[in-house]
Amino acid sequence: MTSPIEMNTEPLERACATITSMRQKPLLILYYDDYSGVMSGEDVRYCYKVMRSSGLSVEEPLPDLDVLVHTSGGDPTAAYRLAKCIRHFAKAVSFLVPEYAYSAGTLLCLSGNEVRFGHNAGLSPIDISLESENERIELTAIDYFIKFVSASQDAIQGVLRKNGVSEPSPVGSDLLVRLVDQVQAIKVGSYYRQRTLTGHYAEELLDQYMLVGFPNSSGRRNRIVQELLFSAPAHEFHVDHERSAALGLVSHKMSTKESDATKGLVEVLADMKQDGHICQSINDWQTFPFFFLASPQEDENSKNGDDGANGSGREK
């Protein structure tokens, strides 16, 4: 695969330097392609190698780290493992979301001390949505179908009672049979098990990182998990800064300057993907992510406004 060393890294380094000079802390980029980037277990090894190749160690973690994340989601276990990997290398973490960090990306952000939102950026529910080459099934959709079955059964029974019919209608059981035929019972059970697992991950990350030291942290954590896992109207529900703060997340809105800088970096990464330098194909429906670590310049050029970035990253 092509590495940043084998291509023109100047636009990437310049975009990183704009952010690191503004924030004065190292910047870890976790970038997934908009349409085919899926968070997976292999990403943990990739992230660890990027951190170690930059000279970092778990024995001497960074005092502070920014993590720019751009993803539509993936495997919740991978998100949890990525979160733990990052937190081994940094005592405090701020997640920067220029545009979106959905699903498993939202779960990852729960491991931060704060989430900083670019203008119009957002998180999403962390409910399960499993994808493959041929299908995408959301547990939220199954929940709503079951509610539809219950409502249908009640409505039909009401009509039957008005007409003097006491026997139960088979409509509810028939619809559930159709659901199982469509999705398969073992998959339905697997999805509900995944939801329980995702909720456990969310609770643990909130308790260990974001909500440490806050009053009524357990009640706050329970409200966040309930809202993100069960109460959203759809898997695609957009959770912006205001909604995040109302839920109880440690949420801040970026300034215009910071928002423009982080969005500009995402545009640079999208151009690099378009040119074939990063996020190359794993198969017909999935691409590799791109991880990169940039550090603030410490020299006189940085002080005089000639910003640069020292970074380490590679394509898996």
Q: Which domain holds residue 152?
A: 137-189
Shared domain check, 175 and 46: no
User: What is the per-residue pLDDT across 207-258, written as a single tens digit (0 to 9) for each?
Assistant: 999 999 998 999 999 999 999 987 766 667 899 999 999 999 999 999 999 9
Judge if 142 and 280 occupy the same domain. no
Q: Are residues 27 and 112 in the same domain?
A: yes
CATH number for position 260: 3.90.226
161 pLDDT band, cuts 50/70/90, is: confident
The number of beta carbons lying within 10 Å of the beta carbon of residue 75 is 22
Is residue 74 located within the same domain as residue 112?
yes
Give the CA count within 13 Å in the CB-facing half-sphere of 45: 6
Residue 208 falls inside a structural domain:
no
Helix (H, G, I), strand (E, B) or coil at 74: strand
Cβ neighbourhood burial of 220 (10 Å; 0-12, 13-18, 19+): middle
**How far is residue 60's CA from residue 54's CA, in Å, rounded to a whole number?**
13
30 and 118 co-located in one domain: yes
15 with 311: CB under 8 angstroms?
A: no
Q: How many domains does the chain have?
A: 2
pLDDT of residue 311: 55
Edge to edge, what strands does the sheet with 93-97 contain?
251-253, 114-117, 93-97, 65-70, 27-31, 290-295, 310-315
Same structural domain, 25 and 101: yes
| The pLDDT of residue 304 is above 50 | no
Among 189, 207, 225, the domain boundary falls at: 189
CA atoms of 106 and 118, how far apart (whole Å): 15
* 85 phi and psi angles, rounded to 5 deg: -60, -50
User: pTM for the whole thing?
Assistant: 0.78
DSSP state of 111: T
pLDDT by residue (tens digit) across 7-60? 678 999 999 999 999 999 999 999 999 888 889 999 999 999 999 999 999 999
Check whether residue 111 and residue 147 sit in a common domain: no
**Which of 174, 189, 204 is the last residue in one of the domains?**
189
